[in-house]
Amino acid sequence: MTFLIRQISYTATGREIVRDAVLPKPQISIGRAAGSDIHLQDLAVTPDHARIEQVDARRVIVRATGTLGFDVDGRTVTRVDIDAVKGAELRFGAHRITVSHGEDDQIILAVQRVDALSDASEEKDEARVFSLIGLLPGRRAMAWAFALSILIGFLAIPIISYATRPAPDTRNIYAVKNERQAQMQKASLTQGDTVTGDAAWSPGPLSKAHHALEGKCESCHVKAFVAVQDTACQTCHNPKDVHEHAPAARIAMARETPGLGGRFLASVASAFGKPPAGSCVDCHSEHEGAAPMQQTAQQFCTDCHGTMDQRLKDTKLGNAGDFSTSHPQFEPAVMVAPAGIGMKYPRFDRISLDKKPTDNSGLKFPHDMHLSKSGGVARMARTLKAQEGYGDALACADCHRPTADGVRFLPVDMETDCQSCHSLGFESVGGTVRTLRHGQPAQVIADLRAYYRSTGPARPIALGGMARRLPGDYAATKVNAAYVQAASARPGNAEAAIRAVFSKGGACYDCHVITPPGAGGNASWYVTPVNQPMRYMMNGWFDHAAHKTETCESCHAAPKSKQASDLLLPGIANCRQCHGGEKAKVDVPSGCALCHSYHIGDGAPWVPANSIQDKTVAKVIALSGATASKASTGGLSSNTKRNR
């Protein structure tokens, strides 16, 4: 037994729309409830109004389920027996249901709305009858009212307030010669916003760097509906302290030429007051949240550096488009020639790690021997474990100490880091050990001459392996008398003692590079200044504190290094194990700004060497770990005075 429900409706133009649905069941329901088989949206119909049951192939029975009946051919009944072949017409409120017989003994029920809704809802639909919506204005009127209120509150009032406000003082504070006027002008930038109602225009809170300007929009947005200009930034940021990372003309040459679409967008932006390419706002994006200012997007850098060699034919920089796939090998600033006799300043060159450069540090130091788990050094570490806090063998942290911020490491200092194992003591006076003065070669020579002048040859001292005490031989504060007596080679006069200190096996020779008198025109013994850079990548930034979860050996191959000249810097492949480009699927997606700074001062690599002033050279040397003032006198500078 099957019912064919035929819903008939009409469009606004009178076109008839018919939708058929087949219900293979012997009985169907009629009502206002959504779950009814024939759903009639009419308040004159109860939620469960009637049932239609098919008795046989042509006969159906319609009966009301409640007290309300229905109309059959003009009369109201609660039950009717209908011959589908003859047909009948049922009325439920404003709807007409025509019963007829179809093929395959289907009972066809044609449902059609023929009148307005019932008296209870003739002019109002169901929602209006049971809600307060009928008491409110129409939707169109409310939409216009809301739109008008938004225009008044968020546009008209701020514009009127802006037009009637007092003119702000926008002079550059660094251009104001009177200090008091400059302070007053700077204070005016943070007095508060003078435009009423424009707070709703803010796209988000300011960064920590500009938090003091929160709610003071006119400090940066000087002109209405005009992007922030560089002059607004320079009211607080001294333009003398902000350098382009290359000359402006060269940047313009390196920048990729935009296509037709890019030029069109640039012209539109310019029409609305956006500054040209290279302005402050191109890189520094504000209103990104109350946190550190967002890093510059990688695309800002790669627009020039991704294909730089195509526009700057003379560039020595490799293309850099993405750290994962397109970035040259690191080029640290390595000292290739130390300051010395006839050379006032050391010479630094940027050399690719692919060329396996060496660093002329002025030291002789085997890392592998000091980090070995066995041997004399390890035995000495175990001997001094309780006194110095060493482990069963030396570790990197025993000698390399981080700076206060953890970013870099301080230079190794003889007195702090080496003397516990390598004593420079040569005499004990009343229980106090006299030592050679480290870092002062001229003073060492003077002390030895004074010692022999006061004691004479009757008290020769051992200044070979004795002064440069080997691990395991002596305590740090004692002189081993038995060793002194057993020493086979003891100098008998001051000059022999001086020669022993600065010669092979002597206190200075085995750790430092020594130039004897006469070599290169030098009048005395010369100790090459020690170079211990705290920073090699002068154009890149690296923070050791951010990598404290890693071991030293995961980046630095110190346990296998036999010479101090080994440059123990990790190559780019090592960094790529964790770092990738801005959108790379790696542990640490890294854009250009993570390691590189845009604003670089005097002495940048692109500055011709002959244009760098002496003070700039001195600054570069200081950053690299050398001290020019001591180098010119032939003295050995103390490590504690370097790398400031």
What angle, rounded to 10 degrees, do the helices at 494-502 and 441-455 form?
Answer: 150
Rg (CA), the chain: 45
Given pLDDT bands bounded at 50, 70 and 90, which one contains residue 135? confident
Winning range, highest mean pLDDT, from 122-131, 412-421, 516-525: 412-421
pLDDT in tens, 170-218: 555 555 555 555 555 555 554 555 667 777 788 888 888 888 888 778 7
Dihedral sign, Cα of residue 111, residue 116, residue 119, residue 123: positive
- The two tokens of residue 325 are 């796939």
Q: What is the mean pLDDT of residues 452-477?
A: 49
AA identity, residue 643? N
CA distance 465 to 425: 11
Q: What is the DSSP letter of 391?
A: -
CA distance 60 to 108: 11
pLDDT in tens, 450-462: 888 875 554 545 4
Query: How high is the pLDDT of residue 521?
Result: 66
Cβ-contact 423, 469 below 8 angstroms: yes
Beta bridge partners of 7: 19, 111
Closest CA to 109 of 34, 39, 10: 39
Q: What is the mean pLDDT of residues 494-509?
A: 87
Residue matched to tokens 């169109």: 140
Dihedral sign, Cα of residue 274, residue 276, residue 280, residue 285: positive
**DSSP labels for 551-591?**
-GGGT--GGG--STTB-----HHHHTTTEE-TT-SSSEE--
Helix (H) or strand (E) holding 188: helix 179-188
Q: How far is CA 230 from the centre of its chain?
A: 24
* CB burial string 582-596: b at 16+ within 10 A, e below: bebeeeebbbbbbbb
Residue predicted with more confidence, 627 or 103: 103
Residue predicted with more confidence, 329 or 469: 329
Cβ-contact 597, 541 below 8 angstroms: yes
Q: Is pLDDT of 605 > 50?
A: no
CA distances from 137 to 128, 132, 397 (A): 13, 11, 78
pLDDT in tens, 335-353: 888 877 667 778 888 999 9
Query: How high is the pLDDT of residue 456?
Result: 56
Q: What is the DSSP letter of 126?
A: H
pLDDT in tens, 211-238: 888 877 878 888 877 889 888 888 888 8
Query: How high is the pLDDT of residue 92?
Result: 92
Percent share of the chain, pLDDT over 70: 79
- The two tokens of residue 92 are 């439920």
Return the percent helix, strand and coil in the chain, to nearest 5.
Answer: 30, 15, 55
Residue predicted with more confidence, 510 or 551: 551
Beta bridge partners of 515: 526
Q: In 354-429, where does DSSP find H-type helix?
A: 367-371, 376-383, 385-388
* CB burial string 61-86: b at 16+ within 10 A, e below: ebebeeeebbebeeeeeeebebebee
Given pLDDT bands bounded at 50, 70 and 90, which one contains residue 572? very high
Q: Which of 139-148, 159-168, 374-383, 550-559 has the lowest mean pLDDT?
A: 159-168
**DSSP labels for 307-332?**
TGGGT-TT--SPP-SBTTTB-PPP--
Q: What is the mean pLDDT of residues 288-309?
A: 86
CA distance 486 to 261: 88
CA distance 452 to 426: 12
Q: Is pLDDT of 473 > 60?
A: no
Query: How high is the pLDDT of residue 617?
Result: 36
Q: Torsion angle, CA of 256/258/262/265, rounded to 10 degrees?
A: 80
CA distance 60 to 84: 7
Given pLDDT bands bounded at 50, 70 and 90, which one contains residue 641? very low
Whole-number mean pLDDT of the chain? Answer: 79
Q: Is pLDDT of 478 > 70?
A: no
Q: What is the mean pLDDT of residues 248-252?
A: 84
Closest CA to 108 of 38, 48, 17, 9: 38
- Top CATH class of 3-134 equals mainly beta
Cβ-contact 580, 298 below 8 angstroms: no
Q: Is pLDDT of 115 > 80?
A: no
Given pLDDT bands bounded at 50, 70 and 90, which one contains residue 642? very low
- In the 3-class helix/strand/coil scheme, how is 443-506 assigned residue by residue? HHHHHHHHHHHHHCCCCCCCCCCCCCCCCCCCCCCCCCHHHHHHCCCCCCCHHHHHHHHHCCCC
Sequence ranges of the domains in the chain = 3-134, 179-294
Beta bridge partners of 98: 89, 110
Residue matched to tokens 């938090």: 211
Helix (H) or strand (E) holding 302: helix 298-305
AA identity, residue 571? G
